[in-house]
Amino acid sequence: MYDNINIAIIGYSGHSLVILDAASEAGIIVTSYCEKDEKSFNPFNLKYLGDESSEHFDWNIVSSFILGVGDNQIRKKLAALITSEGKQLTTIAHPSARISSMAKIGLGNFFAMNCVISAFARIGNNCILNTACVIEHECHIFDHVHIGPGAILTGNVTVGESSFIGANAVVKQGVKIGENTVVGAGSVVLQNIPSNEVWAGNPARKIK
């Protein structure tokens, strides 16, 4: 799948380091990175390509990109930029991630260590499924979603585009969460949540 593809990562700090570690564990070779400025801390010995947003950036030197940015809105913009340049988005899955063969998986996703994607779950494009999260049967995760470490989505949960589910949150079976919505860490979600809201608590309630 990854043979003879020149892969670069956009972003080289924080979240991107976790992705690069997973890629290394999976035997995927990432050759370079893009940032506004060259990094002095370069633990994976990557080549600096420059700023992908610069008008002088040479898109011809890379075949595929990994998005190493945690912010949903920034990732969404970067994904649109990359695809507009005719380049691929690469999915990275840590070897310990358990992804059902019956799940439907999009492009450019990151499946972190020990995450679980169960049967007939649907994962869109450009999503982060973080460490030890559980996406149970028939859940539908739309594009650009970030599921935090240890979060549990019980069966048939829907999460709309660009939403964020915080670490260790639990979402009850059948709940629908709208677009651009934030669920705080440790929350217990027992009811549907509209788009463009922030919910937190046990049970979760609207706070913004």
Residues noted as catalytic:
137
Strand partners, 200: 205
Helices (H) and strands (E) in the chain, counts: 2, 24
Termini Cα distance of the chain: 43
Query: How far is 60 from 14, CA to CA, in rounded Å?
Result: 27
Place of tokens 């506004």: 36
**Cα gap 97→149, rounded to integer Å:** 13
CA atoms of 1 and 171, how far apart (whole Å): 34
List C-alpha distances in Å: 174 to 57, 115, 126, 161. 45, 20, 23, 17
For residue 203, is the peptide bond before it cis, meaning its omega torsion is within 30 degrees of 0?
Answer: yes
